[in-house]
Amino acid sequence: MTAIRTTLIAALGIAVGLLAGPAAAQSPGGPPAIQGAGSSFAAPLYKRWIDAWGKNEGAVRITYDSVGSGEGVRRFLAGAVDFGATDRPLTEAEIQKVGRGVLVVPSTAGMVAVAYSLKGLTGDLKLPRDVYADIFAGKITSWADPRIQAANPGATLPRRNIALVGRQDASGTTFAFTSHLAAISPDWKAGPGVGSLVRWPATALLARGNEGVAHMVKISDGAIGYVEYGFAKRLGLQLATLQNKSGAYVAPAEASAQAALVEAGADPGLAITDPAAGGAYPIVTYSWLLLYKSYPEAARGAAVKAFVDWGLGAGRGAGTELGYVALPEGIAEKGRATLASIR
């Protein structure tokens, strides 16, 4: 965890595209082409950074492949990219595999929203802690379940089966969500547990990426799933109001996410699994960039250092427009200072 606390963030540069080759790719007769891969949770932010960076620093071409945290970590550990992106911290064992050294720094923060699609239901849907944990465990299977109705006495809930939607790819969003579920439910902790990839109930619908889950929820009446807040917001999905540790029902919003970050303090290496503050949204996570301490080419290292510095500075404002939570100023500045460690 010590390495996670080091700091860093990203900023990218020109059009988004699939990774076309190894990290050593070079633009013909020009500067290196920088390649990254990983988190779909933070992908919209990185794509926004890429566009803005390209307009100002077009000499360096940067691409980002939104393949999920699991694949992003795999490519980073294999040295196949110049940077990785993940929504779950690296383990010490993974860090030790990288001979070039690792810098892990938060690039942004965000919320995992519980999105649903239920025609005819208006107003807030309140979900108690034990209820949403049991929904995702497959123990509550009907929208007319008495426990859901008890939390929403004025709502007319349909007698319809719940269509559970989960991730089929290794995902940092899944890691953050299951970390929270394990913190609030002993049964979940003993059952599916915490992981980037977990076993969902046999009847669950599975999709790839945050965008896949969000779209499946949107088109499936009676569906419920977990998705990065920005995706849900852009698609206009219905979002549940979740009960937090203090007993309050809180909707995902900038203020409620900031309340959770304030409680976490200045250490972004610490997981935010179940914030206790009264106004805190219960499922908030940092998203991290993975950088090497040493790059074999001076030009490549300089390019990575430059766009990351830009992202931690000028690029921070793009996050709130997309539904992310702004990094506390102190954490962003520590990240910029860490860039001096890149060789």
Q: Indicate the number of domains in the chain.
A: 2
Residues 103, 140 share a domain: no
Residues 318, 192 share a domain: no
With tokens 């669950």, the residue in question is 204
**pTM attached to this predicted model:** 0.82
Residues 273, 127 share a domain: yes
Residues 93, 43 share a domain: yes
Residues 117, 82 share a domain: no
C-alpha to C-alpha distance for 38 and 71, rounded to whole angstroms: 6
Residues 244, 115 share a domain: yes
Domain boundary at 241, 261, 284, which? 284
Contact of 205 with 165, CB cutoff 8 Å: yes
Any bridge partners for residue 106, and if so which?
288
* Burial of 55 per CB tally in 10 Å (0-12, 13-18, 19+): exposed
Residues 158, 71 share a domain: no
C-alpha to C-alpha distance for 249 and 229, rounded to whole angstroms: 17
pLDDT classification of 265: cutoffs 50, 70, 90: low
pLDDT in tens, 189-248: 999 999 999 999 999 999 999 999 999 999 999 999 999 998 899 899 999 999 999 999
Residues 136, 39 share a domain: no
pLDDT at residue 266 above 70?
A: no
CATH number at residue 233: 3.40.190.10
User: Any idea which of 38-42, 87-91, 194-198, 256-260 has the lowest mean pLDDT?
Assistant: 87-91
Residues 179, 253 share a domain: yes
Contact of 160 with 116, CB cutoff 8 Å: no
Structural domain span for residue 244: 111-284
First to last CA, the chain: 22
DSSP 3-state of 307: helix
pLDDT in tens, 117-160: 999 888 899 999 999 999 999 999 999 999 999 999 989 999 99
For the four alpha carbons of 248, 251, 254 and 257, in that order, the dihedral sign comes to positive
Side chain identity, residue 320: T
Residues 120, 208 share a domain: yes
Which residues are CB-neighbours of 48 under 8 A, at least 6 positions away?
A: 315, 318, 321, 322
Residues 319, 269 share a domain: no
Residues 194, 302 share a domain: no
